[in-house]
Amino acid sequence: RKEVEQDPGPFNVPEGATVAFNCTYSNSASQSFFWYRQDCRKEPKLLMSVYSSGNEDGRFTAQLNRASQYISLLIRDSKLSDSATYLCVVNTGGGGNKLTFGTGTQLKVEL
Amino acid sequence: EAGVAQSPRYKIIEKRQSVAFWCNPISGHATLYWYQQILGQGPKLLIQFQNNGVVDDSQLPKDRFSAERLKGVDSTLKIQPAKLEDSAVYLCASSLRQQNTGELFFGEGSRLTVL
C-alpha cells in the first residue's frame, strides 16, 4: 500500500461548481498534513495546512479524519484559475520535516 | 527575498553519461531537500540535509546518485551513470528549520531528459 494515495483524476468541472478531493495515508503515526498546489510545469507551493478541527481559507476547506486516515480538500465556487494539480502531503518524520507527497489530483475548471 | 535557485533548468544527455544539478536555498534556511518528480507522479524525496549533515537518504539510489552540501549552504546532486528512467524534474526545496511546519519552498526545478 502506498504511503499517500490520491485519485489522479482528472476532475473536469464547470466554473462555479464545488469539488472535493480525498487522500488516504497508511502511517497512523503521521503527525501533520498539508495540501500543495502545482501548476503545469511549475513547482509545488503550499496551499494550506490541515488541522484536526478542520480549517477554511476563503473558498477552500480542508479536513482531517485520523480514525479513517484520510484528509480532504473542498473547493467551492471553482474558478478557471483553480485548474492545477493538488498534492496531498503527509509529514511522517516525527519531530522533523519528512514530507511524503501523493501522486496528485488534477483539476480542470471549464467555462 | 530571493527564492530557491536551481541550475541548469534543462539538460539532455545520453544514457550512461553524467550530470550535475546545483541548488542555492533561501538565505538562512537550514534544511535542504532534493526531490525527484517523474511525469504524472508526485515528488519523491531523494535526500534531506540539515545544515551540512544528511538527515534522510533512504530513497537515494546510491549506486548512481550522490549529493553534497559541504558548507551547509548550496548543494549539488550528481547522477553517474544516468539511466533512461532518471528522466524527471529534480526539485530542490528548503525550509527554515527542521520543523513540523510543512512549508517547503521549491525551486523551479531542473528538467532532465535521458536519451
User: Given A43, A99, A101, which is nearest B108 (Cβ)?
Assistant: A43
- pLDDT surpasses 70 at B98: no
Whole-angstrom distance, CA of residue A39 vs CA of residue A86: 9
Question: Which residue from B34, B19, B8, B5 is spatially nearest to B115, judged by alpha carbons?
Answer: B19
pLDDT at A109: 98
Q: Residue range B8-22: average pLDDT?
A: 98
Average pLDDT, chain A: 92
Mutate to test the interface with B, among A50, A87, A97 (most CBs of B within 10 A): A97
Whole-angstrom distance, CA of residue A51 vs CA of residue A31: 10
pLDDT at A79: 98
- pLDDT surpasses 60 at A99: yes
Average pLDDT, chain B: 93
Whole-angstrom distance, CA of residue A93 vs CA of residue B9: 30
User: Is B102–A100 a contact, with Cβ atoms under 8 angstroms apart?
Assistant: no
Distance from CA of A54 to the nearest CA of B (A): 16
- pLDDT surpasses 90 at A95: no
User: Given B35, B55, B102, which is nearest A46 (Cβ)?
Assistant: B102
- pLDDT surpasses 90 at A97: no
The answer to whether the bond into B81 is cis (omega within 30° of 0) is yes
> Which cell numbers in the block locate residue A14?
464547470
> Strand locations in B62-109, DSSP E?
65-68, 75-79, 88-95, 105-106
Confidence of residue B76 (pLDDT cuts 50, 70, 90): very high
For residue B40, list chain A residues with Cβ-Cβ distance below 8 A: 8, 103
Partner residues linked to A22 by β-bridges: A72
Whole-angstrom distance, CA of residue B98 vs CA of residue B31: 6
User: Given A44, A49, A91, which is nearest B106 (Cβ)?
Assistant: A44
Q: What are A9-26's pLDDT values in tens digits?
A: 899 999 999 999 999 999
pLDDT at A94: 56
For residue A102, list chain B residues with Cβ-Cβ distance below 8 A: 42
Confidence of residue B100 (pLDDT cuts 50, 70, 90): low
Closest B-chain CA to A103: B42
For residue A46, list chain B residues with Cβ-Cβ distance below 8 A: 102-104
pLDDT at B70: 84
pLDDT at B47: 96
Q: What are A36-56's pLDDT values in tens digits?
A: 999 999 999 999 999 888 899
Distance from CA of A111 to the nearest CA of B (A): 25
Question: Which residue from A85, A37, A91 is spatially nearest to B33, judged by alpha carbons?
Answer: A91
